[in-house]
Amino acid sequence: MVITVLDVGGTHVRWSRWSPEQGLGEVLRAPSPSFSRWAHASVEELRAMLVRMMAEAVPPRAVAGVSFGAALDHHTGTVYASAPLWGAHTRPYDLLAALNAARPDVRWHVVNDVTAALLHLASAPRARDLRKILLATISTGVACRTIDQRTGRIPVDGCGLQGEIGHLPAAVAIDGEPVDLRCDCGRPRHVAAFSSGPGIRRLAEVLRERRGRDWDSSDLGMRLARGEAFEPALAAALDSGDAPAAELLDAATKPVADVVRTALCLEPEIDLVAFTGGVALGLGEHYRDALLAHLSREGLYLTSERQPGWVRDRLIVSEADGLVGAGLAALAGEAREGRAA
């Protein structure tokens, strides 16, 4: 069975064709119709633009799997919110109904983008003998999911949600002084306010203001002053051992490390904690090392002292493609409905 797969993020919409036998075909992409790109459009207009874009990407009478970057009810497909796409807007949106209305000839299957990425990661040979896996995406937004590999179950709560860690409260300080940043959802001091891609850029502005000339003369400061894009400039500055770049990453990863510490404390059956998304993948081992530094300074009570490798050996930065996961989710959905080829 060949499935049209789409991955909707806060920055780009990607789409392709996928099958278990042949994998992904050519991947196409276009900018997402988000509130940051279309500042004067209403949320209703942004949603209509997005559904139109998705509908046009799918051929006639196809099966479509969608990886969607939003907090959504996995029981119904209703989208509650997407700060990267629609900002603070939280009125529920029946995405599945909108897609069915736009393209009734298509069989649509919609899952959250982190769920899709986790399904891809969980299907890899190295993951099959593990008990539980936690995957966190660090990108335009921040979220995570866990799966029990023994049952294949990704549990959700009464609202069909799990792992919306980007909107947990967080605290970050620089030089002992708290930093007060606002999340794209409109609320202050969330994990994503400091640790998402946009959050790290805002945190860099705070560090620039507090460091003054030291920032201006740093590798990161000079790269940004020359007009280099933020993400590659940060990665290059970290490669060079730049102290302000390392301090920035240390501050940005603290809220994420706090979540990981709590997750492993409460659920010791998690055998793998993986990080994906543009930020984590772009920074690679720098990102993992920054997390491990936090978890070394303040780790799990007794466990981190008696078995230092227990946490370290669980953390990886890994590719996990929502397009493949969307295909796997659609395939499973077709099987449940008795349509699998």
Look at residue 1 in the predicted model and tell me its pLDDT: 87
Query: Quick one: DSSP state of residue 127?
Result: G
Q: Are residues 210 and 303 in the same domain?
A: yes
Q: Are residues 328 and 261 in the same domain?
A: no
Burial bucket for residue 65 (CB in 10 Å: 0-12, 13-18, 19+): buried
183-237 residue pLDDT tens:
988 899 999 999 999 999 999 999 999 999 999 999 999 999 999 999 999 999 9
**Within a domain: residue 158?**
no
- Of 200-204, 247-251, 333-337, minimum mean pLDDT range: 333-337
Q: Are residues 283 and 332 in the same domain?
A: no
Torsion of CA 212, 227, 195, 115, to 10 degrees: 180
The whole-angstrom separation of Cα 246 and Cα 6 is 35
Per-residue pLDDT averaged across 39-67, rounded? Answer: 94
The whole-angstrom separation of Cα 307 and Cα 314 is 12
Q: Are residues 70 and 208 in the same domain?
A: no
**Within a domain: residue 150?**
no
Residues spanned by the domain of 51: 3-112+321-336
Entry pTM: 0.90
Question: H/E/C letters for each residue in 205-245?
Answer: HHHHHHHCHHHHCCHHHHHHHCCCCHHHHHHHHHHCCCHHH
Q: Are residues 306 and 325 in the same domain?
A: no
170-194 residue pLDDT tens:
999 998 999 999 998 889 999 999 9
**Within a domain: residue 299?**
yes
Higher pLDDT, 335 or 258: 258
What band does 90 get if pLDDT is binned at 50, 70 and 90? confident
Q: Are residues 306 and 174 in the same domain?
A: yes
- Of 53-67, 78-92, 148-162, 292-306, minimum mean pLDDT range: 78-92
Structurally, how many domains does the chain consist of?
A: 2
pLDDT at residue 340 greater than cutoff 60? no
